[in-house]
Amino acid sequence: EVQLLESGGGLVQPGGSLRLSCVASGFTFSNSAMSWVRQAPGKGLEWVSTISGSGGSTYYAESVKGRFTISRDNSENTLYLQMNSLRAEDTAVYYCAKRPGITVAGHWDFWGQGTLVTVSS
Amino acid sequence: EIVMTQSPATLSVSPGERATLSCRASQSVSNNLAWYQQKPGQAPRLLIYGASIRATGIPARFSGSGSGTEFTLTISILQSEDFAVYYCQQYKNWPPLTFGGGTKVEIK
3-class secondary structure per residue, B7-67: ECCEEEECCCCCEEEEEEECCCCCCCEEEEEECCCCCCEEEEECCCEECCCCCCCEEEEEE
Neighbours of A93 (CB within 10 A): 20
Distance CA A104, CA A98 (A): 10
Residues of B whose CB is below 8 A from A107: 34, 46, 49, 89, 91
The tens digit of pLDDT for each residue in B78-99 reads 999 999 999 999 999 999 999 9
Longest dimension (CA), chain B: 39
- The rounded distance, in Å, linking the Cα atoms of B81 and B96 is 31
Predicted local confidence at residue A119, as pLDDT: 98
- How is the beta sheet containing B70-75 ordered, strand by strand? B4-7, B19-25, B70-75, B62-67
The CA distance from A99 to A107, in Å, is: 6
pLDDT for A82-101, tens place per residue?
Answer: 999 999 999 999 999 999 98
The verdict on B96 touching A (C-beta cutoff 8 Å) is yes
Residue in B52, B41, B25 with CA at minimum distance from that of residue B85: B41
Q: How far apart are CA A107 and CA B3, in angstroms?
A: 17
* pLDDT at residue A102, rounded to an integer: 83
Which residues in chain B have their CB less than 8 angstroms from residue A47's CB?
Answer: 95-99
φ, ψ of residue B105 to 5 degrees: the values are -100, 115
A38/A14 Cα distance (integer angstroms): 18
Average pLDDT for A2-31:
97
Q: Which of residues 20-59 of A touch B (CB under 8 A)?
A: 35, 37, 44-47, 50, 59
Give the mean pLDDT of A36-57: 97
At A38, which helix (H) or strand (E)?
strand A34-39
Task: Name the residue in chain A with its Cα closest to that of B29.
Answer: A106
- What CA–CA distances, in Å, run from A53 to A30, A34, A79, B32, B46? 5, 7, 10, 21, 20
Cβ–Cβ gap A107/B49 under 8 Å: yes
